[in-house]
A = this chain, B = another copy of it.
């Protein structure tokens, strides 16, 4: 693997010191040693990071484009993160805003196994956006979550995912929980002829996640929620390869604020996210509409030959906002409404869900 990754950092510095700071990041993110300790010509020419450009963004902030050798990645997702931002994440006033990978490196990661077109076709949702809700709150026993799963699925959702807080807790063990919820979703599908797919949340170590995926497959499931920054990106990458029949929904928990959400979207797609959940503007998180549109664009881009992922804006959405969101995102989106549906009285949950599903189905896209 030859070629260079272009990593884009934003850093705060005095104009007189910005070049030295950018050079320091280039060393930190490659050889992690003073240049004096690098005696090998091959390493100096092919491995040491290099500052390609520095742009003044005003207000004491600069954007530095730094080239990092693709060879240092070894095709490993965790190592990519390590080389892009590992030690520099500890520095004050340095943000990682983007990364452009050489095409062969992107191709080696492989992207989603299924992606937008396949998930849409399987949902029978040609020409419209997809719908999703979340099973919560954690703490209730499996049987109660299964009742919610039934009521939500009866409303005709395309996807139903576990809350990312559902793990393997004593009050609701993973296997019993997903067996109950999968059965509830099957029952609703049988009644309505719908196609709701249930995606349980993976947690724990790789061996535990592997067992969870096997158990899910045993229940006839073929979708799962994963939090790459908790699981470790390399483990997500490996699970995607080991379970090609599964569609993976990536959750943004622990992605923080020092790496741009647009880059995370790009990376999660690269590592195999069929769907990437992100905090929508106007909800509980402070993302702007422009950032959300850039996230969606990064997920939908097929420039690198990999399949597009489905953007799934979430986090405090409501049924009432459906037209506004579809006007903004268009068809290529999965709307995720969790708490707002679950706040409805239990007996109105299916009806409230149906309102959401119908609002999406009947929308006239611009």
A263 at the interface (CB under 8 A from B): no
A183 at the interface (CB under 8 A from B): no
Smallest CB–CB gap between A203 and chain B, Å?
A: 5
Report the nearest B residue to A86, measured CB to CB: B253
Q: Which residues of B contact A234 (CB under 8 A)?
A: 203-205, 208, 230-231
Chain multiplicity (copies)? 2
How far is A61 from B208 in the complex, measured between Cα atoms in Å? 40
Q: Are A33 and B339 interface neighbours, CB within 8 A?
A: yes
- CB contact between A32 and one of B38, B86, B163 (< 8 Å): that residue: B163
Q: Which residues of B contact A170 (CB under 8 A)?
A: 1, 71, 74
A4 at the interface (CB under 8 A from B): no
How far is A206 from B83 in the complex, measured between Cα atoms in Å? 19
Q: Are B285 and A91 interface neighbours, CB within 8 A?
A: yes
- CB contact between A40 and one of B71, B139, B203 (< 8 Å): that residue: B139
Report the nearest B residue to A252, measured CB to CB: B90
A295 at the interface (CB under 8 A from B): no
Interface residue tally for chain A (C-beta within 8 Å): 84
Smallest CB–CB gap between A226 and chain B, Å?
A: 11
Q: Which residues of B contact A171 (CB under 8 A)?
A: 71
A sample of 19 cross-chain residue pairs with beta-carbon separation below 8 angstroms, ordered by A number, consists of: A24-B284, A33-B163, A37-B137, A37-B343, A39-B346, A40-B139, A46-B139, A48-B139, A78-B227, A79-B230, A82-B203, A86-B254, A87-B164, A89-B254, A89-B256, A89-B257, A203-B234, A204-B238, A230-B233
Task: List the interface of chain A (C-beta within 8 A of B).
Answer: 1, 24, 28, 30-34, 36-40, 42-43, 46-48, 69, 71-74, 76, 78-79, 81-83, 85-87, 89-92, 136-140, 144, 163-165, 167-171, 203-208, 227, 230-235, 237-238, 252-258, 261, 279, 284-286, 315, 338-340, 342-343, 346
